[in-house]
A and B are shown apart, each in its own frame.
Chain A
Amino acid sequence: MPPVVLTGEHYMTGDEAIAEGAIAAGCRFFGGYPITPATEVAERMAHRLPGVGGVFIQMEDEIAAMASIIGASCAGVKAMTSTSGPGFSLMMENLGLAAITETPCVVVNVQRAGPSTGLPTQGAQGDMMQARWGSHGDYSLIALAPSTAQEAFHETIRAFNLAEKYRVPVLVMTDEVVGHMSERVVIPEASKLNVIERVKARGRKDRYRPFEPGENGVPPMAAAGEGYCVHVTGLTHDERGYPVMTAECQESMQTRLFAKIERNLDDIALTRGFFLDDAEIVLVSYGVSVRTCRAAMEEARALGYKVGLLQLLTVWPFPEEAVRALAGRVKAFITVEINLGQISLEVERLAAGLAPCFLAGHCGGTLISPDAVVEAVKRALKPGGKQ
């Protein structure tokens, strides 16, 4: 039987690295439905979970897959599913259920070009706004975007840590290229990995209130069957978990659900800067397009352009401060993403007129070429430059 954590050097795909990250983070339940280009995540989980005491279930569809991981998590197990565009759409309703019931879980979206069936075998980053707003009603969640197989491993562990720490659904928004590309992945020893467990319910079982906030505004969680009285509902509820149909209860519940994320942006909203100190043009990117940007940045710098890169490892909640801090001192932002303008809208919002904002994007099916980004840099630097 292979070990729980596959310490060592491997040549594996992003999808496989996500599965290994999940296992290393303690994920012991996977409920899913196969879909290109995410099937390899499920395949690896099906192969690995029985050997580490976990459970894999292929559900009847993605609606059920999402429901299954909520159920597993309520039973006390770290749980994950993976999908792509069409399945992601089906998961939206129950994603909201995970948000309102504060059920820790991880949803992987290996994005492909859409809409609808689109280009099933080719990459895109067109689900980024759906990731934030796809379920109905106001809610907050966390979405991460790895750009390499190595990041896919580590960011999946971070996804589980954030899910467990804040009791929220966390999305890993990768794409076909990262998912199917093979690269070196170095997996550390298990003892070197930072793995966070949810805060469990303690104290008298008859006094337990399942939605009474603890530290950080996050309620300690009792698993079903541990003897605590637990009531879980998609209705607006009070600290006992019982439905209360009033605007006041709605407000207090929602305020806390938003605050537990917004008050912890320092912990959640990770970015990485490249050559930002002297940058006149800042590329803003996430996921696979970061690779395009790093190649383009090297080429542009060789041509004498002062280009930097802000990589959004966390896309939601949007790392507002990172963009705001640059807005006053750069000549322009260029958001690089494989869609026709999604995260670019957030960059524009944060730049708030202090710096012109451009988009280097297209509608999917292939990567954005470094040449296209270098051309965008040249255009942005022209007086009155428009894209």
Chain B
Amino acid sequence: MSGSKKEILVTGFGGQGIVLLGKILGAAAALGDHKESTLIQAYGPESRGGACSAQVMIGDGVIHYPYVRRPDVLAAMSQAGFEKYIDLAKDDTVLLVDQDLVKPKGQAQEVFAVPATRLAEEMGKKMMANIIMLGFIVAVSRVVTNEAARSAVTSSVPKGTEDANLAAYDKGHDFGLAVLKGREKKMAAQG
């Protein structure tokens, strides 16, 4: 896949807010960063409990074909979703997981882990685990800018919940930045 186009696959259970996460990511790219983007949402019985996914394409040029073929970013919030899509991953696919819900099995790629659901529970907002994951994805993969993502969160969540959602987003984003920093230190120590 060319460098200017990013294929992002987010997967989890129906009810976790996977589609909303995808919609915020796509809207951030299209409206905030002024790039092209499409969102395909999993639709059907699975969006109310089974495996669920959101496919987001982000590019500088017009996105013609909206289906993810080889994801540049694969984020999983369920083991079933992870296992269903991991075979699509490339050598350089950025893998992100909710570490309490997904146990990767010997992938060659580096896995970026965040306890999104646990952090959300600690904030008293379990339903905002998706927004924490969104912040984490943005910090680690940089597929959209932080500003665009925050603005899209504000305009996409129910009125009156903006501040709580932004707090959840920032939590995930900060966690992502800390993970990257720790990784840099580790690499420097090894280097």
A288 nearest in chain B by CB position: B66
**Residue B39 CB within 8 A of the other chain:** yes
Q: How many residues of B contact A (CB 8 A)?
A: 19
Binds A, one of B10-18, B30-38, B117-125: B30-38
Q: In this complex, what residue of A is CB-closest to B27?
A: A11
Q: Give bound CA distance, A294 to B63, whole Å.
A: 9
Query: Chain B nearest CB: distance from A380 CB in Å?
Result: 20
Cβ of B85 < 8 Å from any Cβ of A? no
Taking a contact as CB atoms under 8 Å apart, the answer to whether B26 and A11 are in contact is: yes
- Tell me whether A294 and B31 are in contact (CB under 8 A): no
- Chain A residues with CB under 8 A of B36: 184
Bound Cα distance from A291 to B67, whole angstroms: 11
In the bound complex, residues from chain A placing their C-beta under 8 Å from that of B173 are none
Residues 169-212 of chain A, each 1 if its beta carbon lies under 8 Å from chain B, else 0: 00000001100111110000000000000000000000000000
B interface, over-half SS = mixed
Residue in B27, B31, B39, B62 whose beta carbon sits within 8 Å of that of A181 in the complex: B39
Question: Smallest CB-CB separation from B39: which chain A residue?
Answer: A182
Q: A11-B23, A11-B26, A11-B27 are in contact. Are A181 and B66 (CB under 8 A)?
A: yes
Q: Is A292 an interface residue (CB 8 A)?
A: yes
On whether the beta carbons of A370 and B65 are closer than 8 Å, the reply is yes
Map CB proximity to A onto B54-97 as digits: 1 under 8 Å, 0 otherwise.
00000000111111000000000000000000000000000000
Question: Interface segment, B40-48, B98-106, B108-116, B159-167?
Answer: B40-48
Min Cβ gap B165→A in Å is 17
How far does the alpha carbon of A184 sit from the alpha carbon of B38 in the complex, in Å?
8
Q: Could you say which residues of chain A place their CB within 8 Å of the CB of B66?
A: 177, 181, 291, 367
A182 touches B65 (CB 8 A): no
A9 at interface, CB cutoff 8 A: yes
Known contacts A292-B65, A367-B65; A180 and B40 CB within 8 A of each other:
yes
B38 A292 Cβ-Cβ under 8 A: no
- Minimum Cβ distance to chain B for residue A338 (Å): 13
Question: Which of A184, A295, A367 has most chain B Cβ within 10 Å?
Answer: A184
Indicate whether A37 reaches chain B with its CB closer than 8 angstroms: yes
Question: B30 near A184 (CB under 8 angstroms)?
Answer: yes
Question: What separation, in Å, do the CA atoms of A120 and B47 have in the docked complex?
Answer: 14
Collect the chain A residues with CB atoms within 8 Å of residue B43's CB. 36-37, 121, 176, 180
State which residues 344-375 of A face B: CB under 8 Å: 366-367, 369-370
| Min distance, Cβ A318 to any Cβ of chain B, angstroms | 24
Query: What would 25 A/B residue contacts be, using CB atoms closer than 8 Å?
Result: A9-B30, A10-B31, A11-B23, A11-B26, A11-B30, A11-B37, A37-B43, A120-B44, A177-B66, A180-B40, A180-B41, A181-B38, A181-B40, A182-B26, A182-B27, A182-B39, A183-B30, A183-B39, A184-B30, A184-B31, A184-B37, A291-B65, A292-B64, A298-B64, A367-B65
**Which residues of B are at the interface with A, using a C-beta cutoff of 8 A?**
23, 26-27, 30-31, 36-41, 43-44, 62-67
